[in-house]
Amino acid sequence: MRLSLPMFASVVALAGCGDDPPINNTPFDAGPVVVDAGAPMDVPVAVVDSGPPVLDSGCPSPQRLAVSDTPSGFLAPSSVRFIRAIDGDTAIFSFAIQGETTVRFEWVNTEESNSRDRTENTAFGVATAATVARYLAAGREFVVVRHASPRMPTMPDLDNFGRTLGLVFVDGELLQQRIVREGLSPYYTDFGCPPEPLHSALLLSEAEARANRRGLWAPGHPTDRTLRTRSSVE
């Protein structure tokens, strides 16, 4: 069934838990993925560039966002140096003044791969973390746009674990949008939707991933996220 954008916007898939587990700063190895016996790969990680032809989602194609499309509510963009990935939605970058800083990618929430509680890690989460780590390792230019704190607009916003919240651009491409388009994470809105044009770009990126059954939207994925919907966002 084709959904108009207003209809689709009212059915936002969620990633599950509202809070992340305690942060584990152990660097993620971007080399060969090794999964414990008894935890087989959930589904293949589909990549946009090498995947099947794009199928019509019934929605407009997502706008490819650039740093210049960042809306108000964010600090000035910072050119940074990539240090290492922690998991599929967190990495450490070096800022000119602040030094090494852990950045949590806003509006995505990948499956666990580096949790202290190993029972929370999934094979798909491990594969996703390795994929994102390789994207970052292959990048040449990195820009992080930190979300401004609602209470102190000149300071970056932090999550419950002290991580800086922000957007990450790799060689001019918004990493969050790539992650969502490739089905590595749903568009994650447990803490609210971003302003335009971020909201529409991520929403339509998820529609494309769903239509093409990429990643976690593939048939047989253990977590059926199509059933986890609601009509309003907190």
Highest mean pLDDT (candidates 166-170, 222-226, 229-233): 166-170
**Which pLDDT does position 225 carry in this prediction?**
57
**Beta strands 99-105 and 90-95: pairing type?**
antiparallel
Residue with tokens 């991933």: 209
Domain, as residue range, for 117: 28-48+58-224
Q: Would you say residue 112 lies in a domain?
A: yes
Percentage of the chain lying above the pLDDT 90 cut: 65
**Which pLDDT tens digit goes with each residue over 114-163?**
888 888 899 999 999 999 999 999 999 999 999 999 999 999 999 999 99
CATH of the domain at 86: 2.40.50.90
Q: Would you say residue 14 lies in a domain?
A: no
User: How confident is residue 34, by pLDDT bands cut at 50, 70 and 90?
Assistant: very low
Q: What is the mean pLDDT of the chain?
A: 80
What pTM value is reported for the model?
0.77
Cis ω for the linkage preceding 153 (within 30 of 0): no
Least confident of 11-20, 155-164, 178-187, 222-231: 11-20
Q: What's the average model confidence in pLDDT over 107-111? A: 97
**Which pLDDT does position 96 carry in this prediction?**
97
Taking 90 as the threshold, does the pLDDT of residue 29 lie above it?
no
Q: Would you say residue 44 lies in a domain?
A: yes
Q: What is the DSSP string of 127-186?
A: HHHHHHHHHHHH-S-EEEEEBBPSSSTTSB-B-TTSPEEEEEEETTEEHHHHHHHTTSS-
Least confident of 77-81, 110-114, 201-205: 110-114
Taking 70 as the threshold, does the pLDDT of residue 9 lie above it?
no
Strand segments (E) across the chain:
78-87, 90-95, 99-105, 142-146, 164-170, 173-174
Positive/negative CA dihedral, 204, 90, 84, 35 = negative
- How far is it, in rounded angstroms, from Cα 14 to Cα 225? 7
Taking 70 as the threshold, does the pLDDT of residue 1 lie above it?
no
Which of the pair, 27 or 12, is modelled with greater confidence? Answer: 27
Taking 70 as the threshold, does the pLDDT of residue 12 lie above it?
no
Q: Would you say residue 12 lies in a domain?
A: no
Domain count, the chain: 1
**Which pLDDT does position 16 carry in this prediction?**
36
Q: What's the average model confidence in pLDDT over 2-21? A: 40
Instruction: Give me the amino acid identity at 214.
Output: R
**Which pLDDT does position 116 carry in this prediction?**
82
Q: Would you say residue 40 lies in a domain?
A: yes
**Which pLDDT tens digit goes with each residue over 44-100?**
444 444 456 688 889 999 999 999 999 999 999 999 999 999 999 999 999 999 999
Structural contact between residues 101 and 164, judged by C-beta atoms closer than 8 angstroms: yes
**Which pLDDT does position 4 carry in this prediction?**
41
Instruction: Give me the amino acid identity at 34.
Output: V
Burial of 69 (0-12, 13-18, 19+ CB in 10 A): middle
- H/E stretch holding 216 reads none
Structural contact between residues 171 and 141, judged by C-beta atoms closer than 8 angstroms: yes
Q: Identify which of 21, 141, 9, 26 has the alpha carbon closest to the alpha carbon of residue 91.
A: 26
Q: Would you say residue 151 lies in a domain?
A: yes
Q: Would you say residue 231 lies in a domain?
A: no
Which of the pair, 5 or 53, is modelled with greater confidence? Answer: 53
Q: What's the average model confidence in pLDDT over 179-200? A: 96
- How far is it, in rounded angstroms, from Cα 146 to Cα 17? 23
